[in-house]
Amino acid sequence: MGILKKIHGIGSDFEEVFFFNEYQALAGRGLRTILALVTIMFFTFLALGFAVGGMENLKKKMDNPFTNWVNIDVTSAINQQSKRIQEQYNRQSVKDSFNLKNMNGFNRYVLDFYEMDFDPFSHQPDSLHRNSWGRTIEPDEPLLENVFLPKNVLWKSAGDIESCDIIVTKSLLKAIKFELPKKTDSVFFLPIRYEIVNKQTYDNESLLMYVRVFAVVEEIPGLGNRFISFPKLHNVIHARVMDGKTCQSIERNKKGATNYFLITNASDNLSKIESSIQEKFNLSPFVDIENTYLIPQKGISYGVRISFNSSIAPSLDEFRSFLKDFGKTLPVCEYAFFDCGGEQCEYLDAEDFYYLAFHFNELEHIRKFKSDILENFDIEMDMSQVESKENFWLVTRLTLLISLILLSFGILSIVIYVNSILRNHLYNIRPNLGTFQAFGLRNKFLTKTYLKIILSFLVLSIIISYFFTVLVDRIELFLNPENSMFNIFSPWIAVAIFLLVVISLGLAIKTIKKILSDTPGNLIYER
């Protein structure tokens, strides 16, 4: 009681008796007024929490390049216009008119990943592999920033990303039965199947190769894509010719070579390999570890280069025969050595684009963009893409409108309820108010007292209802941690509370003054 007196600045005994009597009268039997206010505010906060949470969730998706982009399949006709299209939609004035962030091209391609059960020392290289689709991405593309958002990254390698690294999804690892690397693992390689096609005989040969995984993520842009890479990996694997030079930098065992490549599982095997070759061919090779490939669940594989100084090196058939015999005592097998050095082949040639991708800040002008590209370049966009993006933008705007309506309705409901309680009470005690006035009690005191009561009702109800709403927020976050649709800690909630208190007190002042403005006689005799 003493705390309330200090908070409300109650001085004399009369002020104390008057305040607490009126407080109890307005609170109702069993504090039903406060309980009703708590209930109304609780459901108002619930509605606002879900509205704000849903709005923020949609805004994240609207600001997310995973959502705000459309792509166009590149046909031969489009390919011929690729340069003109890029020039047109990279102009700042054009980008501003469509709220376009940027445009670029990309390619989709397949990599064959070996499954976890694959053992290179006992299985054939054309077994236990699964192909997966992926796409290229430019190093400076804004989309890459979203791929590396903390909530999307499950594991990331130490150091900087390299030109031939790949970023894979958790679903890809699951498909090939690999586990997610531990946080302490600093590097991670995946074995892939590298296929060589003989252009004369059209015979295929499969070889083991390793690519470094830079990160494992939840999702990447594009339906069906399970990995992304910079253009260089795509160019090297597909031996693209750029600036008159081939991008091929994969070394393998082939006819007429003086260098041969193999994989073993222990560095101690090098001396045994060297001595066995000397015994078999009567030659002194230079045997060196070319690279180490760590697969956390399977340990380290050592890539070995065997170089013959002599121009008289074993033939490919002779070397493979040696490997077959040597493999009976120690685990060894052939592999393709992948070298990603140099600055060549870092970009994707416009003629190699499979898709043109357009990234928007917002999707408001997507239909206008569709009409423009049709008119200027005779390119027909997939209507389902346009409608789905338009509908998404419309839903976002409707959610904002509904949130504002809920905010207004909640504030209005509480204000009307509080004001009706106060007006009915003052109307019923008009004779008493008239008597107080007749004995010299000033309207200022009465107004101030009733405002204190209303304010205490509001503050108490807000604290209690907000506490229970926070509990709901914690439960919802626990049940749905990845995609929460509820937020009671938004600044919008603070704005709603402020408006609620200000409007309620403002209307209360108006009601009190209207009733107290009458003469004491009219109030006493209820005229």
Whole-model pTM: value is 0.63
Lowest mean pLDDT among 233-237, 255-259, 376-380, 458-462: 376-380
Arithmetic mean of pLDDT, 259-273: 86
229 CB contacts (<8 Å, ≥6 apart)?
134, 136, 137, 164, 165, 166, 167
Whether residue 122 is contained in a domain is answered as no
Arithmetic mean of pLDDT, 462-473: 89
User: Per residue in 285-307, is it b (16+ CB within 10 Å) or e — as a string?
Assistant: bebeebbebbbbebeebbbbbbe
Q: What pLDDT is attached to residue 214?
A: 92
| Res. 359: pLDDT tops 50 | yes
3-state helix, strand, coil in the chain (%, to 5): 50, 20, 30
Q: How many domains does the chain have?
A: 2
- 303 shares its domain with 422: no
- Which 3-state string (H, E, C) describes 34-45? HHHHHHHHHHHH
Range of the domain at 34: 2-61+395-524
CB 101 within 8 A of CB 142: yes
| Res. 1: pLDDT tops 50 | no
CB neighbourhood size of 356 (10 A): 24
- 330 shares its domain with 405: no
Arithmetic mean of pLDDT, 496-525: 82
Q: What pLDDT is attached to residue 203?
A: 65
DSSP calls for 346-393: -S--GGG-SEEEEEES-STTHHHHHHHHHHHH--PPPHHHHHHHHHHH
Whether residue 354 is contained in a domain is answered as no
Q: What pLDDT is attached to residue 168?
A: 94
- 332 shares its domain with 406: no
- 421 shares its domain with 508: yes
pLDDT tens track for 81-105: 777 787 788 888 888 888 888 777 8
Whether residue 134 is contained in a domain is answered as no
Whether residue 507 is contained in a domain is answered as yes
Q: What pLDDT is attached to residue 147?
A: 85
| Res. 113: pLDDT tops 90 | yes
pLDDT tens track for 208-257: 899 999 999 988 877 788 999 998 888 888 878 777 777 777 888 888 88
- 404 shares its domain with 518: yes
Arithmetic mean of pLDDT, 421-425: 84
CB 125 within 8 A of CB 206: yes
- Residue 272 belongs to domain with CATH number: 3.30.70.380
- 520 shares its domain with 400: yes
Give the Cα separation of 496 and 504 in Å (integer). 12
Give the Cα separation of 359 and 497 in Å (integer). 38
Helix orientation angle between 269-281 and 316-326, rounded to the nearest 10 degrees: 130
Arithmetic mean of pLDDT, 326-347: 82
Q: What pLDDT is attached to residue 413?
A: 83
Lowest mean pLDDT among 155-159, 192-196, 197-201: 197-201
Q: Where is the domain boundary, 290, 305, 338?
A: 338
**Contacts of 456-459 spanning 24+ positions with Cβ under 8 A:** 456/4, 456/8, 456/23, 457/26, 457/27, 457/33, 457/34, 457/37, 457/418, 458/37, 458/418, 458/500, 458/501, 458/504, 459/501
pLDDT tens track for 476-493: 878 776 667 777 887 878
Whether residue 103 is contained in a domain is answered as no
The pLDDT > 90 percentage for the chain reads: 8
Helix (H, G, I), strand (E, B) or coil at 69: strand
Q: Which helix (H) or strand (E) holds 304?
A: strand 299-308
Q: What pLDDT is attached to residue 429?
A: 82
Q: Where is the domain boundary, 338, 357, 386?
A: 338
Arithmetic mean of pLDDT, 196-214: 77
Whether residue 212 is contained in a domain is answered as no
